Amino acid sequence: MNPPSEDFTIGVEEEYQIINPHTRALTQRAGRVLSKARKSLGEQVENELYLSQIEVGTPVCRTLADVRSHLVRLRRTILSAASQNGSTIAAAGTHPFSRWEDQTLTPKPRYQGLEEEYQQLSREEVIFGCHVHVGISDRDAAIRVMNRSRPWLATLLALSCNSPFWMKKDTGYASYRTQLFQRFPTVGTPHFLETRAEYDALVADLTAIGIIQDASNIYWDVRPSMHFETLEFRVADVCSTIDEAVMLAGLCRALARTCFSHDQDGAPIPMPRPEILRAAQWQAARYGLDGDLIDVLTRRPVPAAEQVETLLGFVREALEESGEWDEVRSLVDQTLSTGNGAKRQRDTFQRTGRFEDVVDHVVAETKRTAE
C-alpha cells in the first residue's frame, strides 16, 4: 500500500541561545527578539522555557531544498531581530559557561507548571535541541514506524552531538544535553508499543497518576506529535550549521520511509532489549563520532564511522527514491571529516583555552549561509 501524498513531509524546529555579543553569556532578551521577529515570522517563532531561549519552526516542507531555504530565512530573520536589540544567536545544545541560576523562567503558566512539578531538574534545563517532524497520517502506522526506528536513534544522536561543555567544564560527553534531559521521567527511547490504542492508554495512565499534563509532556527521542499528524524525532542536539540540520532532516525522513516500507512488506520487527537501546544512547552521547558506537541489532561495539555507514545503507533506497542520496551522502561525509559540533567546539577550546572563543565559534557557524 502506498502512503497518502501528504505523508513524509518534513518540518524542523530549532532552539537557539540568545547571546550577549560582548560577554558571550546568555542574555534574557527573548521578549524583545520575539516581538521583532514575529512581524515577519508570525507563529513560526516561539518562546521557550527560559528568556535566554527562542524556538523557530519551518512550515511544512516537501524537499530538503525547502528545508534549507526556510532554515536560512528563519535564522536570518532571528539574527536580524536579535541584532536590533544588541544580541545575537547561537545554535548549540548547551552554553559553555552561563549558569542555570542566572536564567529567568519565561512567565507562562505552562513553564511555571513545569518548574513547580520538576523543581531542580526544570531549573537546570538550559538545553537546546532540534526536532524533525515527518508526516505520517496513519496514526497506527506512525507507532509501528516508531518501533522500527529505535535501533537507529543513537546513530542520529552521534552525528548531531553538540554540547560538550557545561558551566565552564568539559563534561567528557559529546552531548551533555542528553544527560541533563535524561533525568526527567518521560524521556529516552520509547519501549515497544503494539498499537496507537496502547500509546493512548499509556498517555491516559500517565495523566491520571499525575506525571504528565498531556501527551506533549512525553519527551521521548521519537514520539507521535500531539498537534500534527507527524512522527517527531527529538534525539538531536540543535545543529550549529544549516548543513547539519539539513543532513539530520534528510536522514530522519529516510529512516521513517524505510521503516514504513518494511512495515508494509511485513518484515520482521527488530526487538532489541531496552537496556541495549539505553546503552547505545549513552555511548553515543558520551563519545559522539570519536569512539565506538553500539550496533543494537548485532549487539556489538563498532567504530562510529562504520555504524554511520550501516545507517546509510539501511536508508539508501529511500534517499535515492527522493533524489536526496547524493546530498545527504555528501553532508554525512562532511560531518565525518570535520567532526560533529562537539568536536569542533572542543577543537576551538584546545586552540585558545577560552570559552568565549567557543561561543564566538558557535555564533559564526550559526550565521554561516544565513547572512
First to last CA, the chain: 44
Contact of 265 with 156, CB cutoff 8 Å = no
At 369 the pLDDT is 76
At 4 the pLDDT is 52
User: What sign results for the dihedral spanned by CA atoms 361, 173, 187, 101?
Assistant: negative
Torsion of CA 322, 323, 324, 326, to 10 degrees: 150
At 89 the pLDDT is 97
Give dist(CA 217, CA 219) in Å, integer.
6
Q: What's the angle, vertex CA 141, arms to CA 233 and CA 2, rounded to 5?
A: 110
Q: What is the pLDDT of residues 187-212, one digit of tens each?
A: 999 999 999 999 999 999 999 999 99
- Which DSSP category does 340 fall into? -
Instruction: Dump the DSSP string for 108-169.
Output: -HHHHHHHHHHTHHHHT----EEEEEEE---HHHHHHHHHHHGGGHHHHHHHH--B-BSSSS
Q: What mean pLDDT value characterizes the chain? A: 95
Q: What is the pLDDT of residues 12-25, one digit of tens each?
A: 999 999 999 999 99
At 60 the pLDDT is 97
Rg (CA), the chain: 19
Give dist(CA 196, CA 157) in Å, integer.
26
Give dist(CA 343, CA 337) in Å, integer.
11
Contact of 232 with 225, CB cutoff 8 Å = yes
Portion of the chain with pLDDT greater than 70, in percent: 98
The domains found in the chain, sorted by start residue, are: 10-352 (3.30.590.20)
Portion of the chain with pLDDT greater than 90, in percent: 95
Instruction: Dump the DSSP string for 49-110.
Output: SBTTEEEEE---BSSHHHHHHHHHHHHHHHHHHHHTTT-EEE--SS-SS--GGGPPBP--HH
Residue ranges, the chain, pLDDT below 50: 1-2, 5
Give dist(CA 66, CA 45) in Å, integer.
18
In DSSP terms, 17 is beta-bridged to 53, 90
